[in-house]
Amino acid sequence: MSRDRFAGRVVFVTGAGSGLGRATAKLFAAEGARVFAVDVDAKGIAETLASIREAAGDAEGGVCDVSSSAAVKSSIARAVERFGGLDVLANVAGIGRTIRFEEIAEDEWNRTLAVNLTGVFHTTQASLPHLLQRPGGNIVNVSSIAGLRGQAYNSHYCASKAGLLNFTRSIALEFASRGLRANCVCPGGILTPLIRNFQPREDFESRLIAYYSPPIDKKMAEPEDVANAILFLASDEAKMINGAGLVIDAGTLA
């Protein structure tokens, strides 16, 4: 595997202020990409950009709430102005938590879909004109195994991730003849700050959530495990992969 697979390419990464998004931005930069990284967390995104630059990577970015169409358009425009184009869109930003269905407030339902699904609509629509101008332009979205099956106490999160998976497939088909690829990774649990939100509560029925963990030694993925899969799907090595949902769950769904 070449360590400069993305030399000269421009990559836009959302949710890059921590966890999987940060790992993804850093790996793209380490492989030669010019990275534009965004997050709602100003401190987190500043730390990510500093880390990439300290490692001699090329990175710009800033604060962006993907649920805001105006904020996304502004950030995409800044990325294109700074780097002269766009080759890869990596939609990593996401929120969620375990909660009983009857406790979900409408505001929380709306916010979950606004970030996890509508946010990807915003970034995709804003970036498409630029991605279509570049050979090998592509999109990699982060869905979840929660988008492939129901999970107790996760109805709003499951709905958003299932919608994202089929959205990705639709984009892959609609733009296949124009040279654009779109794929998803579908991870199980990842050891990031977000995992705290998915810890079961004492009042949850354990028999309904026993399948959340991988069946073999209950290990969860490190952020780099999933980030490496994102880079693979974005690379020329995956040129024949389009509309896929790559499961990364240590056999949980098997």
Is 157 annotated as catalytic?
yes
Query: Tokens representing 45?
Result: 């995104």
Place of tokens 């990464």: 13
CB within 8 A of 49, min separation 6: which ones? 37, 59, 60, 61
Does residue 221 contact residue 182 with C-beta atoms inside 8 Å? no
Query: Tokens representing 29?
Result: 């930069």
Residue of 153, 157, 211, 212 with catalytic role: 157
Residue 139 has phi, psi (to 5 degrees) of -125, 135
Query: Tokens representing 15?
Result: 């949710």
For residues 239 and 92, what is the distance between their CA atoms, to the nearest angstrom? 21
Q: Active-site residues: which are they?
A: 157
